[in-house]
Amino acid sequence: MSQFLHTKYADLRPYIPGEQPQDRKYIKLNANETSMPPSSEVLKALSNPLIRGMGKYADPHCHALRQAIGEYYNVPEEQVFVGNGSDEVLGFCFMSFFSETSRICFPDITYGFYEVYANAFHLDAQAIPLREDFSIDVEPYVRTDRHVVLANPNAPTGMVLPVQAIERIAAACPERIVVVDEAYVDYGNASCVPLVARYPNLVVVQTYSKSRNLAGARIGFAIASPEVVSDMMKIKCAFNPFNMSAMALSVGIAAIRDTEYLKWCTRRIIENREYTKTRLERMGFYATDSHTNFLFVHHPALDAEVYYRALKAAGILTRHYAVPRIRDFLRITVGTRAEMDAVLEATEKILRCQGRHAS
Ligand SMILES: *Cc1c(COP(=O)(O)O)cnc(C)c1O
């Protein structure tokens, strides 16, 4: 730490992304990315005129991309905010609506970035425990007067709340913001976007990083009331008006229009998820009811950290969280069928090895 870092950041705990070791080639199933390519329309969008035009700044209002996303969700452009990944969208949301006196809440087990932002912005954050089975008890969120941040489906559990549950939370207290992070909505789940018309306190956040196979492009968006979006645009323009590169804007438009490819990819991932889940269950694993592109699994006779290390030794990266309540679980991103077969094969070997040690 230099002598210049502001003292208010002395206790800052930054987000720790999934590891990206360079020592060998891994099957990377630790960050819920994919090895499937983006839509072929994306390649076409990255053409010569775009590259030649990059001497000029891109549109700071991102009209064309917001319009394309609006068309997909049947909302006007005024209700769409876009950012450099949904992490940035969440960041602008926190910056716009929460201050040091703000009280927010989110589940004790959820996407780690909420805690990081709460900490970075010095918010009063309450962690509301998930039930024993990792499901979300809606009642505390209905009763609280705190702002609410929920990932739906939740990560790393993969479990989903019905839209009506989110509606109850949004309806209970119109004075507070309810942020619903729908990073995994496309894997067969209903979106809360249609609720935005009735609940001006609702902010629905989505990303291109998962279902659209574009984690490296950094594109995320929020759908909310025109007033909420205009507030966030104002804050963005006071911080980084050109947050979206010309490349991200072009890629974003091309990808959101290719609805067939989105359906094809997500169907494949869901098939691979269920295939892998069934096989793992046959080996004695318990897996949560995941509605995402990852599995969250536990084996009664296999320590999750040992399993994580054994898979890594076999060239497969997964995510283990050494934190209370979930240290006995491993999160495995669902990839291609070949990647999942590699996981299953390695797992069989690990279990066999483990059994020999135990007996
Ligand atoms: C992956 C993920 C994000 C981050 O997405 P980016 O758009 O890549 O920043 C946000 N929220 C949840 C719940 C995620 O799983």
Per-residue pLDDT of the chain (359 residues; tens, 9 = 90+): 899 999 988 888 888 888 888 888 999 999 999 999 999 999 999 988 899 999 999 999 999 999 999 999 999 999 999 999 999 999 999 999 999 989 999 999 999 999 999 999 999 999 999 999 999 999 999 999 999 999 999 999 999 999 999 999 999 989 999 999 999 999 999 999 999 999 999 999 999 999 999 999 999 999 999 999 999 999 999 999 999 999 999 999 999 999 999 999 999 999 999 999 999 999 999 999 999 999 999 999 999 999 999 999 999 999 999 999 999 999 999 999 999 999 999 999 999 998 777 65
CB of 209 shorter than 6 A to ligand 1:
yes
Q: Read off the pTM.
A: 0.97
CB of 215 shorter than 6 A to ligand 1:
yes
d(CA 213, CA 285): 28
Is 270 part of any domain? yes
Is 1 part of any domain? no
Specify whether 106 is located in the same domain as 235: yes
CA of 355 to the centre of ligand 1 (A): 37
Specify whether 311 is located in the same domain as 172: no
Write the single-letter amino acid at 334. V
User: What residues make up the domain containing 142?
Assistant: 40-257
Is 145 part of any domain? yes
Residue 106, token pair as written in the block: 């989110």
Q: Where are the beta strands (DSSP E) in the chain?
A: 27-28, 80-83, 103-107, 124-128, 147-151, 178-181, 202-207, 220-223, 286-287, 294-298, 316-317, 319-320, 330-333
Specify whether 103 is located in the same domain as 55: yes
Q: How far is CA 303 from the centre of its chain?
A: 26
Specify whether 165 is located in the same domain as 54: yes
CB of 246 shorter than 6 A to ligand 1:
no
CA of 55 to the centre of ligand 1 (A): 30
CB of 86 shorter than 6 A to ligand 1:
yes
Q: How far is CA 130 from CA 79, 261, 292, 326, in A?
A: 32, 35, 18, 11
CATH number at residue 233: 3.40.640.10
Instruction: For ligand 1, atom 5, name the residue with the nearest CA.
Output: 86
CB of 222 shorter than 6 A to ligand 1:
no
Planar angle of CA 153, 336, 25, nearest 5 degrees: 110
Ligand 1 atom closest to the Cα of residue 154 is: 13
User: Residue length, the chain?
Assistant: 359
CA of 319 to the centre of ligand 1 (A): 15
